[in-house]
Amino acid sequence: MNFKVSVICPAYNEKENIPFLFKELKEKLNKDYEIILVDDGSNDGTYEIALEEARKYDNIKVIKHLKNYGKTEAIISGLKASSGEIIVIYDADRQFLPEDIIKIVEKIEEGYDLVCGYKIGKYEKKLISKIYNFLARLLFRIPVRDINALKGMRKEVLENMKLRKDWHRYIVPLAFHLGYKVTEIPVVLRKREYGLPKYSSKKRIIIGFFDLLAVAFQLTFLKKPMLYFGTIGLASLTFGFLVGLLAIILRLFGHGYRPLLYLVILLILSGILFFSLGLIGEVQTSIIERLEDIEKKLK
């Protein structure tokens, strides 16, 4: 059976939340919605409870990972099992309101490809979230305030992304840079009732900041490597040429020039190196684009 909307719920050790999760979603969402819970290798009985609770309702699928692969892989597993034209990613911790799922879907039906929520209200790690989202807006130039809250999108948006581990955080900027129409709506973030956050530990926050730079690098430098590396290389060669002229003038007037000579060699070699990196990057980008074209033709 095909549904209009597939709600993917990644879950890791959320056994207390599962009964309330299914009950809330089924009370608020109509028969056009299917719910896909992906147990990401929980060791607290989440999968067993989910199976038991799912029998009480229609249109609920439960998927199990044999080990904890991470939220990104959980989303991908849910995507593969989905039949909806629209995908909503709704965490099993129930911190967002089911009503906001409906609002997101309605906004997508207005013509947007991806709709993300920006959190309102009081919540933990608000300062970290603001800093993180400020850096995201700065690096990706995206017209949204929050890239890591409740979100929904047309299925093709997620299917056309190549998500690496932990890159679920960057679905919004990736979609924006792929040319999809993105907007946002306010969503309420509730206090967690049961358990502790599983996908937002201090370690993951640090990894998230490094991934932020990695994604930014991929979306800028790797798209036009010669533009960036070539510019640096040209600047280095130009500066090396000017310093070389200065060294020649000092030599003609009998002044010391050897320190400048070493600097000239360093600048010229650096310029050649950056130009080489730009060329290698262009070749790599060309190969990747050709492979992507082949992959699209094979689909």
Q: Give the model confidence (pLDDT) of 2-33 as tens digits.
A: 668 999 999 999 999 999 999 999 999 988 89
Are 175 and 242 part of one and the same domain? no
CA dihedral 59, 64, 68, 74 (to 10 degrees): -40
Q: Looking at residue 26, what is its pLDDT?
A: 93
Are 171 and 73 part of one and the same domain? yes
CA dihedral 51, 52, 53, 57 (to 10 degrees): 80
Q: Which of 199, 219, 239 is the last residue before a domain boundary?
A: 219
Task: Determine the structural domain holding residue 277 and report its residue range.
Answer: 225-298
Sign of the CA dihedral with 274 first, then 276, 278, and 281 last: negative
Q: Which of 219, 246, 271 is the last residue before a domain boundary?
A: 219
Are 232 and 213 part of one and the same domain? no
Instruction: Check which CATH number belongs to the domain holding 174 and give it.
Output: 3.90.550.10
Are 211 and 261 part of one and the same domain? no
CA dihedral 176, 80, 116, 106 (to 10 degrees): 110
pLDDT tens readout for residues 121-137 = 766 667 777 888 888 88
Q: Looking at residue 138, what is its pLDDT?
A: 82
What is residue 58's three-state secondary structure? coil
Are 34 and 103 part of one and the same domain? yes
pLDDT tens readout for residues 36-74 = 999 999 999 999 999 999 999 989 999 999 999 999 999
Task: Give this prediction's pTM.
Answer: 0.75
Q: What is the Cα–Cα distance from 258 to 267, expressed in whole angstroms?
A: 14
Residue 82 sits at the vertex; the CA angle it makes with 78 and 87, to the nearest 5 degrees, is 80
Q: Looking at residue 214, what is its pLDDT?
A: 76
Are 106 and 254 part of one and the same domain? no
Are 57 and 202 part of one and the same domain? yes
Are 215 and 246 part of one and the same domain? no
Residue 82 sits at the vertex; the CA angle it makes with 187 and 165, to the nearest 5 degrees, is 70
Are 209 and 229 part of one and the same domain? no
pLDDT tens readout for residues 132-151 = 888 888 888 888 988 889 99
Are 215 and 229 part of one and the same domain? no
Which of 105-114, 167-176, 270-279 tops mean pLDDT? 105-114
Are 33 and 180 part of one and the same domain? yes
Q: What is the Cα–Cα distance from 274 to 187, expressed in whole angstroms?
A: 45
pLDDT tens readout for residues 73-85 = 999 999 999 999 9
Q: Which of 219, 249, 279 is the last residue before a domain boundary?
A: 219
What is residue 174's three-state secondary structure? helix
| pLDDT for residue 296 is more than 60 | no
Which of 2-16, 102-116, 193-207, 261-275 tops mean pLDDT? 102-116
Residue type, 258: R
Q: Looking at residue 25, what is its pLDDT?
A: 94
Number of domains in the chain: 2
